Amino acid sequence: MSSFIRGVFIVSLGVIAVSVFSAEREVVSVQQAWVKLAPPGAAVNAAYMRLQNQSPIAQTIIAVSADCCSQVMMHESRLEGDRVVMDHKERLEIPAQSELVLAPGGLHLMLMGAHKPLTMNDKVSFVVEFADRTQQIIVAPVKLAADE
């Protein structure tokens, strides 16, 4: 009898653990997420998307990871003279009831250390971590260009 009770206890703990890990948020909605196909031999890929914050408080992304790659960094491209340089960003803030656009020439996610080269129509699954410790999963296809 006691082992039966223990079994029930373990099962209910499992349910709690699952619900904590899938703390899915609907606070930020993501549109037009895509990963740019890189030329053969390129070491990195960039990812772009529109992040819409429907909540009355700012949402801050503090880390991103992806299943394809060993590291994802948050970058911002800018022109320095006639060349493009990229600044590393520690966090990306999406203002309250506003949106943050990651697009070519500006903010982007930089995918580094691909386990294998990304090819057309691959799906990259990102885990985005917010400052409030919640996470959101974003799936983005590999394409040559953004949809119009």
**Binding stretches for Cu ion (CB under 5 A):** 75, 86, 110
Shortest reach from residue 40's CB to Cu ion, in Å: 19
CA 37/CA 57 separation, integer angstroms: 34
Choose between 36 and 75: whose C-beta lies nearer to Cu ion.
75
Tokens of 68: 């394809």
Q: What is the CB neighbour count within 10 angstroms for residue 69?
A: 22
Q: Are 28 and 52 in contact (CB under 8 A)?
A: yes
Choose between 108 and 138: whose C-beta lies nearer to Cu ion.
108
Q: Are 41 and 14 in contact (CB under 8 A)?
A: no
Position closest to Cu ion via CB: 75
Shortest reach from residue 75's CB to Cu ion, in Å: 3
Shortest reach from residue 108's CB to Cu ion, in Å: 6
